[in-house]
Structure formats: structure tokens, C-alpha cells
Amino acid sequence: MTPTTVLTIAGSDSGGGAGIQADLKVFGALGAYGTSVLTAVTAQNTRGVDAVLALPPRTVTEQLEAVLADFAVRAVKTGVLGTPAVADAIAEVAKAGRLPHLVVDPVLVATSGHALGVVAAVERLLPYAEVATPNCAEAAALTGAPVTTVEEMVAAAETLAAAGPAHVVVTGGDVDADGESVDVLAGGGRTTLLRGPRVATRNNHGTGCSFSAAVAVRLALGDPVPLAVDTAKEYVARALTGGRDWKLGAGAGPLDHFGWSPERPVPSARPA
């Protein structure tokens, strides 16, 4: 048996809950072999981001070429891109058709408010995405319209899907929709609401990274986009539930990526 290979192009989170570290955990938990291209190094913990160092485009390209030259990469996700120059370098490779099943998580701002990316960089890559996964704040920055309700999430997902990516999921981690957590999937002329119970926890660091990484694994394993997104939402809900009472760090703690917690009532995401 040879595992399916997935690639993350993202930044390092020294606290281990988001970024490259979260992605590699998700890949392993969902049964894929993970490779990684580092774009930036953050000094970060559960309380916030203290510093960000973007790597030079050449260093990113060298890592990317090393991985692509030696592994049969079946899906790719991107997170923090660092700079527009790095985004350009990655976009060149995507344009050449060398980044299959590309999932672009347009990371702009950490939950703590620290800037992690710029719209100008994200926009270079979005046209090549099979799935883009902005949260509400990112969808608002990309469309220029407010995104705070489910109706506004639908409008933003449809606007973004009409402008580049084949599919867009606007994730609603920050929107409490009557006790539910609702994501909106738009693409291929259809819009679907994904609903699941909202997990009450402070430990939500890295939900967006984990979600997009899970989508990439499921695409690599052959799921069509709606099923991949549905499965990823369910995975994140389980990981949130499992880590609900964890005390790792004093701020927003990480998820239970590997399902270590013994009692995990399993909420299910269901398309509406």
C-alpha cells in the first residue's frame, strides 16, 4: 500500500495549532501522506501572533520544485502566502497545471487581529483554485461588501465563485446562526448551505486551516467537491468537540486533530 500524497504551501505556526503544523496533522489523521512548502515563519501561540517573517520567493519555489519532482502530489492546499511575489511564483506553477485539486485558503488576518496576508497576493492565486475557503472577514475583504449574516455569506460566495475559483466555501465559524454553524458552498451554478451544530468552545485555533486541509485530502482521495466539503466540515466539528475542554495554552487552544478524546458526540454536517 502506498499512501496518497497531499501538499500544503503555508506558514509555520510555532504553537502548532494552525498553519503547516495543523495541515500535516489533518493529512495524517485523514490518511494522506503530507508534504510541505513553507512560505513564512510566525512566532505565534494560542494568544496571538508576535512576528511574521516571509520567505523569499526563490526559497518557496525551490521547495515546491523539490516536492513536485519526487512525489505524485494528488492535491494541494495553500494558506499564508507571505507576499504577492510568492503568490505570483505559486500561480505560475498552478497555471502550468502542476497543482492538482488546488484548495486556496485566503488567509488574511489571524483571529487575534494580526495581519498574515494581503488581498493582492491572494487574488493572484484564486483563479486557479478548485475550491477557495474564505471565512467571513476574508470574504468581506475580497468582495468589498460586509459578510456577517448567512444571506451575506450566500451573496459573497456567489460573487467570488463568478470571478475565478470553480467553487467557493464561505465558512461561518464567526457567525452564530441560531446555535448552528453554517457554511455556504457556491459553484457550478449551485449554492448549498452546510449546517452543523455549533460547538461551544474557546479552543478554535486553526479551524480554517484544518477545514481547507481536510477538503484537499478528500479531493485527493477522489471525492467530488460537495462531498469533500461536507466531510471536512464534519471532521472539524469532531476535532472541535474533542478538544473542547483542553488546556493547551492560555488563549484559543488547538483542536483534537487525531480524535484522542474518549467522548466525542459526533455532530453531523448535512446539506440543506
Ligand X SMILES: Cc1ncc(CO)c(N)n1
**Are the CB atoms for 45 and 15 separated by under 8 Å?**
yes
Are β-strands 48-54 and 32-45 bridged in parallel, bridged antiparallel, or unpaired?
A: antiparallel
Q: Report the partner that residue 11 touches, choosing among ligand X, ligand ATP, none (CB closer than 5 to 8 A by kind).
A: ligand X
Helix axes 207-220, 19-29, angle to 10 degrees: 40
Q: How far is CA 127 from CA 52, 96, 101, 104, in A?
A: 26, 13, 13, 10
Work out whether 45 is an interface residue with ligand ATP (CB under 6 A): no
Nearest CB to ligand X, comparing residues 10 and 99: 10
Q: Distance between CA 95 and CA 71 in Å, rounded?
A: 19
Specify the 3-state DSSP secondary structure of 121.
helix
Q: Which of 11, 82, 172, 253 binds ligand ATP (CB under 6 A)?
A: 172
Nearest CB to ligand ATP, comparing residues 39 and 135: 135
Q: How far is the CB of 244 from ligand ATP (least distance, A)?
A: 10
Q: Which of 204, 216, 217, 257 binds ligand ATP (CB under 6 A)?
A: 204
Q: How far is the CB of 193 from ligand X (least distance, A)?
A: 23
Nearest to 262 by CA among 246, 242, 245, 235: 242
Q: Report the partner that residue 199 touches, choosing among ligand X, ligand ATP, none (CB closer than 5 to 8 A by kind).
A: ligand ATP
Q: Distance between CA 51 and CA 32 in Å, rounded?
A: 31
C-alpha 242: how far from chain center: 19
Specify the 3-state DSSP secondary structure of 175.
coil
Task: Give residues in contact with ligand X (CB under 6 A).
Answer: 10-13, 18-19, 42, 44, 79-80, 107, 110, 116, 206, 208-209
Work out whether 211 is an interface residue with ligand ATP (CB under 6 A): yes
The owner of cell 475565478 is 164
Q: Which residues contact 151 (CB under 8 A, 6 or more apart)?
A: none
| The three three-digit cell numbers of residue 237, written as one number | 466539528
Q: How far is the CB of 80 from ligand X (least distance, A)?
A: 4
Nearest CB to ligand X, comparing residues 172 and 206: 206
Q: Report the partner that residue 203 touches, choosing among ligand ATP, ligand X, none (CB closer than 5 to 8 A by kind).
A: none
Nearest CB to ligand X, comparing residues 13 and 230: 13
Q: Which of 44, 83, 181, 231 binds ligand ATP (CB under 6 A)?
A: 181
Work out whether 36 is an interface residue with ligand ATP (CB under 6 A): no
The contact set with ligand ATP (CB under 6 A) reads 18, 111, 135, 171-174, 181, 183, 196, 198-199, 204, 206-209, 211, 233, 236-237, 240
